[in-house]
Amino acid sequence: MTEQGAPALRILLACALGMSTSILVARMQEEAARQGKSHRIWAADQSTIEAQLGEFDVVLLGPQVKHLLKKVKGIVGEAAPVDVIDARAYGRGQAAAVLHQAEQLMRKD
């Protein structure tokens, strides 16, 4: 649970190989901790999403694989919301903005 009483989220960032998002993951983990949230955040290759079904609450795709959004939504189905990380926030490494994006997706669900 977070300090605000909301449950911790399991956030998967998916990209081409899971490597380009690793810096953003580290920043998001730091930001979540700073906000008193115990979210689990990790990066993975987009090809592993199906194998990880049930392990995440939300999937955010790196902007470089945004062309896979429809395919990933088809794989994930109703299991979790899926979206593309805002390109500006991704490029600038704005962890708070991407964390907020993930949390907003869960609120819409």
Catalytic residue among 11, 13, 15, 43: 15
Tell me, rounded to whole angstroms, the distance of Cα 54 from its chain centroid. 14
Q: What are phi and psi of 26, to 5 degrees?
A: -60, -45
Candidates 52, 36, 20; CA nearest to 82 is 52
Candidates 61, 64, 89; CA nearest to 76 is 61
Look up 21 and say whether it is catalytic.
Answer: no
Candidates 23, 19, 11; CA nearest to 44 is 19
So which residues are the catalytic ones?
15
